[in-house]
Structure 1
Amino acid sequence: MIVDWRPRAVRRLDKIHAHTSEGRFLAADAVFDTIVAAAATLPSHPYAYREGRVPNARDGQLPNYIIVYRVKRDRILIVNVLHARQCYP
């Protein structure tokens, strides 16, 4: 199983990194690395996180962030990355 990032999720991750890096480059890198590392573990345990608020999706809860993803037959599709305080869907 592979992890496939939708373009929107990549843009959101880049935005999170840019916003966090304003004066705190090490913190921004740590947040970025935490999110990417969590996504990398999903193929091993695709159902570890709860069913999400979006139909057919799951919410990977991290400290301060949520990875919204879908489990497909042959891949994990990362749909979005959000700050935990954001309202969605």
Structure 2
Amino acid sequence: MLPVVWLETALLDLTAITEYIAERNPAAATKLNYRLQEDAELLGELPAIFRRGPVPGTRQFVSHPNYILIYRVTTVAVEILNVVHSRQQYP
């Protein structure tokens, strides 16, 4: 199992998403934050089973119908690069 590391860009994405949702529904924001972090931890167990991303060397995991974790696998860790909305143009 590889450790999962959140890069600063992904943490900023996560913060922005949860703060936006919290303005309207704090409980939903807390639940989504928890789910995204829990799902990210699963990537350390089976990092290669999810689809390849549009950027070479990346993969995508649909954690929630509306949110996708963008990550890469290195020899020492799974690095969460970004959290994007499913309707967001990426990259």
Q: Structure 2 length as normaliser, TM-score? A: 0.94
Q: Runs ≥4 in structure 1, deviation > 3 angstroms?
A: none
Aligned to 1:79: 81
Aligned to 1:15: 16
CA offset digits 1:44-86 (Å, max 9, x no partner): 1111210011110001112210100000111001010001010
Aligned to 2:52: 51
Percent identity between the two aligned chains: 35
Aligned to 2:38: 37
Aligned to 2:72: 70
Distance 2:88 2:78 in 1: 23
Structure 1 residues without counterparts, runs of 5 or longer: none
Amino acid at match of 1:46: P
Q: CA RMSD in A?
A: 0.8
Distance 2:34 2:50 in 1: 19
Distance 2:16 2:48 in 1: 27
How far off is 1:23 after superposition? 2.6
Structure 2 residues without counterparts, runs of 5 or longer: none
